[in-house]
Structure 1
C-alpha cells in the first residue's frame, strides 16, 4: 500500500515537473521588462585569456566526454506530459521499497527531512522547516495534486544533497538530487515555483520557472553566444567553503571570473560578501 501511494505521488509529480515550466505568474518581473532594467544592447566583449586556456591539453579528457555524451544523446518519448526518462527513474528508485515501507522506516526517515501528510486531500506539514522558501515551493505543487492522492505520509529532503546512504538501512527519503550510492527517491525540485537562491534582481529567490525560462530564452536571442563576454560567471550561496576559491579568484582576476556570493535560501547573513 505504501509503495502504491508513493508511486502515485511520483507519477503526478512527474506530470507537474513537465508542466511547471508553463505556469504563469502575473507579478513576475524580469530584467527584460521595461520597468525592471535597461534594454540597452550588450557592449562588445573584451579580449580575454580564457580562450587560450581552452587549448590546454589538460581539459581534453573532459571535452571528449562532453562530445561523446552529446553525440549519444537521444530524446526521451513524452506521453501525457510525462517523459519516459522520468518514469524510468521513478521505477528504479522505488524498486528497493517493493516490499513496502513500514512505520519504523518512515519514523527513521523523518530525521533526514521534512515530514508531510496528505489526509482527506489536504496537505499538512511538521512545524519546522530548514528552508521555508523551499517548503513553500514543495507545498505549491502538493496542493495541486492533493485531490488526486490517497491519505499518505512522506519525508521530503530540502537540503542540496541526498540523505540515505546505501551503507546503512533503507530509508524512504524524497530528494531532488542523488547518486547511485543513496536510497533516496527522486523528487522534482521546489525551485520550479519558489526557493531558489536570492539575488539582487530576484530578492525573494529564483523561481517561477515558467516565466524565468521565457526570460532566459529572450535574453539568449538578444545576446548571442558570440556577443558574450569571455569570462566565467557565478552567483550562488556559500553552501561550502570549496566555493571560496572561485570568489577569491574573481577578486584577484576579474578578467577571468565574475563570481560572488548571494544570500542563501535561509536568509542568513553573507559570509564572504554579496554582489
Structure 2
C-alpha cells in the first residue's frame, strides 16, 4: 500500500523533483517555497519519500520480543558502555530521583516518594517482573523534567526519566501513566487511568465512527501550558470552519489571560476527539501524555515539535504515522496543511491508519513490560559492583523481606 501511494503521488505532479529536493531536505516540515503550488508538491514529495523509504521495525507481526524499541535501549545505555556504572555513580544519582533496589527478587525503595501515584505506576511493572530480574540498584526520576544535562556525558550519574531531549543523558523508561498517576483533570480527577483499559475504550470509539463520518476539522482541547499552542487557537477563532481549538483551565489558571483572553472551554474526553479527522499534539512540560491516545482515534495526528521524546517516539515516522510541524507553527502553516489533507483525503486516512496500527500493535501492555525487562537486564550488565542490602529502604513487594 505504501509503494502504490508513493507512485500515485509522484506521477500525479508535473514539477521538477530535483529543483524541489534542493529546496527541502527529507524529513523536514514544509519548506520555504515561492508559491502555493510548490508547497503542495513539497508535501506530496515528503509523503511519497517517507512511505517509499519506510521499513517495518519488526518482521514478527506479534513482535513478542518488543524489537521495535530495542534501538532506544542501546542508545540510552551507550554513554555508560565504556565506563560501566560504579556504586559512586549511583550515590551521585540519588539526589535526582527515588532510589530503588532489586535484591533477591524483592523490591525496595526510599521511604519517601515525591509523587506516590507515579511510584505506584512504576512499581506495578517492577513487581510484575521481579522473578525475571537480577539484583540491581537504580534511581528513577518521577518528575516531569529530565535531570542529566549533556555535560554529564554519563560519567557522574545514571538516572531513569520518562522523557528527555537530545541535550539530556537520562535513560528513558515507560512512563508511570501506563498504569497510574497520569495528569489529573476534571474528567479524570485521579489521572487518565490504565493504558490497557483506555486502549479498548478508544478502539471502540474509533470503530463506532467511519472515516467519512468524522468531522473534517482540526481539533484541540488543552490548557495553555505553552504559548506554542496560541497560533492554532487564534486560527480557530478566525476560521472556525477549519479548526476547533480552545483552551481549558488547569490548576494554574488565574484569569482570562491564561486562556488567551477568552472564557475557558469545557474539557473533551479522548473518546470525543475521535469525532474529528485532524488532531493536534503539543509538548507539555516535557513530552505530552496525550500523543499515544490520539493515534487510537484513527484520526490524522499533527505532532508539533520533535525535541521531546518518550521511549516509543523514535519508531513513529513523520509523514508515515503522523504529520510533523516544527515548533511554533504559524497560522498559515496550519491552514496550508489542513487544507492540503482536506483535498487529499485518501492520504490523510492512510497516514491515520498507519499511526493507529503502530500504536495498537507495538504499544501494548506486554510491550511496556517487555521494554522494562530488556532495559533493566541490560542496565544490570553495566553495574561494576555487587549489590548489597540496605535496611534503611522500604520493602515494596516480593516473596519475603530479607534485608
Asked if residue 76 in structure 1 is aligned to residue 57 in structure 2, the reply is: yes
Deviations along 1:109-154, one digit per CA (max 9) or x if unpaired, are 2222222222332222224434333222111111111232222211
Task: Sort the Cα spacing of 1:162 and 1:222 in 2 relative to 1 into closer, same or farther, 3 A.
Answer: same
Identify the residue that residue 177 of structure 1 maps to in structure 2: 163
Structure-to-structure mapping, 1:87-126, within 5 angstroms: 87-98=70-81, 99-126=83-110
- Provide the C-alpha distance between the structure 2 equivalents of 1:158 and 1:66, rounded to a whole number of angstroms: 37
Asked if residue 210 in structure 1 is aligned to residue 196 in structure 2, the reply is: yes
Runs (5+) with no aligned partner, structure 2: 1-35, 259-263, 267-403
**Partner of 2:99: helix, strand, or coil?**
strand
8 A Cα contact 1:197 1:237, kept in partner: no
- Provide the C-alpha distance between the structure 2 equivalents of 1:224 and 1:198, rounded to a whole number of angstroms: 30
**Partner of 1:202: helix, strand, or coil?**
coil
Identify the residue that residue 224 of structure 1 maps to in structure 2: 210
Asked if residue 138 in structure 1 is aligned to residue 122 in structure 2, the reply is: yes
Task: Give the deviation of 1:189 after TM superposition.
Answer: 2.0
Task: Sort the Cα spacing of 1:221 and 1:252 in 2 relative to 1 into closer, same or farther, 3 A.
Answer: same
Identify the residue that residue 35 of structure 1 maps to in structure 2: none
Identify the residue that residue 260 of structure 1 maps to in structure 2: 247
**Partner of 1:231: helix, strand, or coil?**
strand
What is the Cα-based RMSD across aligned positions, in Å?
3.3
User: Which shifted more, 229-238 or 113-122?
Assistant: 229-238
Asked if residue 165 in structure 1 is aligned to residue 149 in structure 2, the reply is: yes
8 A Cα contact 1:113 1:157, kept in partner: yes
- Provide the C-alpha distance between the structure 1 equivalents of 2:44 and 2:96, rounded to a whole number of angstroms: 37
TM-score by length of 1: 0.64
TM-score by length of 2: 0.46
**Partner of 1:150: helix, strand, or coil?**
coil
8 A Cα contact 1:247 1:260, kept in partner: no
Identify the residue that residue 135 of structure 2 maps to in structure 1: 151
8 A Cα contact 2:79 2:153, kept in partner: no
Runs (5+) with no aligned partner, structure 1: 1-54
Task: Give the deviation of 1:62 after TM superposition.
Answer: 6.5
In our comparison, the structure showing a higher alpha carbon Rg is 2
Task: Give the deviation of 1:222 after TM superposition.
Answer: 1.3
Instruction: List, as ranges, runs of 4+ consecutive aligned residues in structure 1 with deviation greater than 6 Å.
Output: 55-60
8 A Cα contact 2:218 2:244, kept in partner: yes
Asked if residue 192 in structure 1 is aligned to residue 178 in structure 2, the reply is: yes
- Provide the C-alpha distance between the structure 2 equivalents of 1:198 and 1:63, rounded to a whole number of angstroms: 39
- Provide the C-alpha distance between the structure 2 equivalents of 1:203 and 1:64, rounded to a whole number of angstroms: 44
Deviations along 1:155-201, one digit per CA (max 9) or x if unpaired, are 12223443222223423111222343322222122221122223344
Task: Sort the Cα spacing of 1:254 and 1:126 in 2 relative to 1 into closer, same or farther, 3 A.
Answer: farther
